[in-house]
Amino acid sequence: MGWARRLLPALAVVLLAAGCRKEKGEDFAVVPVQPAPALEAPRASGEVFRLSEQRGKVVVLSFGYTACPDVCPTTLSQLQRLHGRLGEAARNVEVVFVSVDPERDSAQQLETYVHAFNPRFTGLRLDTEALAPVMSAWRVTASRRYPDSARYREHPFTGDLPYTVDHTGAYFLIDKAGALRARMPYTVPVERLQQEVERLLSEDGAPVAEVRVEKARARLTPARVGAVYLTLVNTSGREDRLVSAESATAGRVEMHEVIAQGELLQMHPRPEGFVVPAKGRVELAPGGKHLMLYAIQSSPTSLPLTLHFEKAGTVHLTVPVSAPGADEP
């Protein structure tokens, strides 16, 4: 009986581990489900790739660089094998490779590199200033590693000191509605990667534009900042969210809300966006929620505006501009 008493604690640990085992896919899942961070960059052809315009497809995204000797070629080879295993379903999968080494990778070099693995793959280059916030949003890191110069005293380098880049190795899976669903490690077997991609492909994720924009207007100031006010009307039976906005006329567009604490007026950024309730509406109005415009490039009478919604996708509109001091339209 003594051996039985000694065995019970070990058996309890085994049963507890079995009871805590995760269901398929949970170990790599992004919880709660959230919109994928924005990603926009020019292709080598000059056309602009926008992640927000890939609705209806499953996107597999990874980060790397063309001078990578091992991890990146392995990653792209894995994605090429995935493409082949998916068969006809691969036409609904967009594979994207973003460079973390823009100083050495040109857009054309990236396209040539990824096309060597598959001509349907997309290589994207952002300049250093634009790349930093993208990496932060995707929680990706990259740092240069230079060789030990003491080892090369007898054979000095004649040009720039070569370096490798330590970077995050992962597959980011974005579903057909634009939500980030999984973050899978570089070491995941292709069979498991295929399993997750096919699961996302089987979902009914094609969005229907069910958010209407009313009474949009912009108010600009001589300080090259301004605000956009509008009403968002959700005609669907599901909650939606405005997750980001952009305009070719402004250097940056952010979502803000003014909160009054007595006479103190506080400007609160709302990076989480604005929820638009099912069968409801949200007012962006002076003294409350609004879209703030920075670094306005000119004095336009109207400005282009693109809104990105979690479920409804992308909405493009032209917003009339009120002159300083003008009455509200």
Q: What is the mean pLDDT of each run of 10 residues along the chain (329 residues)?
A: 45 35 52 80 88 92 94 95 95 96 93 96 94 92 81 58 87 92 94 95 67 92 92 87 92 94 91 92 95 89 90 87 65
Sign of dihedral through CA atoms 290, 291, 295, 301? negative
Q: Are residues 104 and 161 in the same domain?
A: yes
Burial environment of residue 265 by CB neighbours within 10 A (0 to 12, 13 to 18, 19 or more): exposed
pLDDT on residue 72: 94
What is the reported pLDDT for 82? 97
**Residue 93 belongs to domain spanning:** 25-201
Strand partners for 65:
none
Tokens of 326: 């003008």
Q: How far apart are CA 34 and CA 37, in angstroms?
A: 9
- CATH code of the domain in which 290 resides: 2.60.40.1890
Q: Output the pLDDT for position 28.
A: 75
pLDDT of residue 151: 58
Q: How many C-beta atoms surround the C-beta of residue 254 within 10 A?
A: 15
Report the relative pairing of strands 274-276 and 240-246 from DSSP bridges: antiparallel
pLDDT at 16: 34
192 shares its domain with 114: yes
> 173 with 216, same domain?
no
Quick check: is 1 in a domain?
A: no
* Backbone phi and psi for residue 135, each to the nearest 5 degrees, phi listed first: -60, -40
Structural domains of the chain, count: 2
pTM, to two decimals: 0.57
Q: Is residue 137 domain-shared with residue 226, that is, in the same domain? A: no
| Of the residues 172, 201, 230, the one at which a domain ends | 201
Predicted local distance difference test score (pLDDT) of residue 8? 41
Which among 85, 75, 101 has a CA at the least distance from the CA of 170?
75
Q: Identify the pLDDT of residue 170.
A: 93
One domain for residues 185 and 222: no
CB proximity list for 246: less than 8 A, separation 6 or greater = 40, 253, 305, 306, 308
**pLDDT for the residue 152:** 57
